[in-house]
Structures are given as C-alpha cells and as structure tokens.
A and B are shown apart, each in its own frame.
Chain A
C-alpha cells in the first residue's frame, strides 16, 4: 500500500517562474492537505481539499498561490511568479474520510523542497 506521493522531491526555480507541486494521496484517502515548512520552523497549514472542492484555504497567501484536487489525478499546488521567500519545504498529507470527530491521522508525503534563485 503506497504512501503519499509527492513530486518532484526537489524543485529549483528562478524568480518570476511558476512552480507546480504534485501530490497523490494514499489509496482510499479522499482528503488532501498542504503545509509549508520554512527552515528551522514547524509546519504551517495552507489548504485543505477534497475532490473538486476547497474546504479550507485560510492558510494560503492571498496572491500567487492556488491549489486544486481534480476528480482525476493528483492534487496540485501552484505558485506563480515565485520569489525567494517562497523557498521552503512543501508537504502534502492525506487522510481518510473524516470521522465524527474530524481527527483522523494525517499521513505525510516526503515533501517537495523548493529553492528559488
């Protein structure tokens, strides 16, 4: 049973380019979450998606960042016109359909390390 898959593992972009990060959840998981980890810090929530729906995007920067989880295919986190401050590790997590208490364990992918030159 494959875990959460993320690609690419490392991504280098120049300022102003676009970055596209992909995440395939674990089999049977329909909920996807994106987190960002700056150096020497904990993970910060960005967005929570279900298939074709954005459930909570309260952690997403207002501009340049977008996320989707289409009916078919992986979830995509897109960062347009990247700046140096976007350099970070971006983690995707997935969980099964939320139970009554909404506290199902989130399983994380290996992360994508984005470096903006």
Chain B
C-alpha cells in the first residue's frame, strides 16, 4: 500500500535562508509520481513541484527543488531564499501508475513558519 510520511509537524526558518522539508514514501509500484503542494492559511492547495520515479534529474521550479533519493525512498522539498509568504502548510503526495492510478496519497503535512 502506498504511504507518505512527513516527520516534521512544524518547522521554522529565518527569512532568506534555505529550508528542507522531509518526505519519505513507500510503494511497491515501480512507476509513480511525487508531488509537493502548499496550503496557505487561506486554504487552497497550490501545486509546487513534481518528480517522476524514472526521472534522472532532480526537479526544480524557481526557488523550489526536490531532493529525490530513490534508494532511500525520500523526496525532500528544498525552498531556497525563504520569504515571509512561504509560511504555510506543505504536503507531500504520491500517485502510483498501476492499479491505484488516480488517487493521490498525502502526508500529514509540515507547517512552515518564516521568521523576519
């Protein structure tokens, strides 16, 4: 069964510094996708970045990068040069390509607070 674990309920970072949010996953499907979403206090879910299981390179999107370590089954999100607007809840999610294709499994989230 697919499972996502985010072990950091809350994280603090100083403005302009980098921060890493941890995510580990478990799946028996060789084909899967890993996603990070941001949920600010307003409640919407904002897609940030995607990594496919067969991608050779780590994904990057602006200040977001995904540190993908397949053997360790980890997909940590790195936010560089943190901004006050980055304060939000961050969710790691996974979708498998096999019989579970369609559904995303989400972790419990990490609350990030950026300090001025």
Minimum CB–CB distance from A15 to chain B (whole Å) comes to 24
Inter-subunit contact B106/A33 (CB<8 Å) = no
Pick from A31, A35, A102, A109 the residue with the most CB of B within 10 Å.
A102
Are A111 and B102 interface neighbours, CB within 8 A?
Answer: no
Give me the interface of A with B, judged by CB distance under 8 Å. Answer: 31, 33, 35, 41-45, 48, 55-56, 58-59, 89, 91, 93, 98, 100-111, 113
* Count of chain B residues with a beta carbon within 8 Å of a chain A beta carbon: 30
Chain B contacts to A: CB under 8 angstroms: 4, 31-33, 35, 37, 43-47, 50, 52, 54, 91, 93, 95-98, 100-109
Indicate which residue in A101, A108, A109, A110 contacts B31 across the interface (CB closer than 8 Å): A101
Min Cβ gap A102→B in Å is 3
Contact B44 A42, beta carbon cutoff 8 Å: no
**Interface CB pairs A-B, < 8 A, 24:** A33-B104, A35-B106, A41-B108, A41-B109, A42-B4, A42-B107, A43-B91, A45-B103, A48-B102, A56-B102, A58-B103, A89-B43, A100-B97, A101-B33, A101-B54, A102-B96, A103-B31, A103-B33, A103-B96, A105-B33, A106-B47, A108-B44, A111-B45, A113-B43
Cα distance A100–B54 in the bound complex, in angstroms: 13
Chain B residues near A43 (CB-CB < 8 A): 45, 91, 93, 104, 106
| Given the contacts A43-B106, A48-B103, A56-B102, A103 and B95 also touching, CB distance less than 8 Å | yes
A2 CA to B12 CA, complexed, in Å = 34
On whether the beta carbons of A98 and B45 are closer than 8 Å, the reply is: no
Say whether B102 contacts A108, CB under 8 Å. Answer: no
> What residues of A have a CB within 8 angstroms of the CB of B45 in the complex?
43, 91, 93, 108, 111
Contacting residue for A33 out of B43, B97, B103, B109, CB 8 A: B103
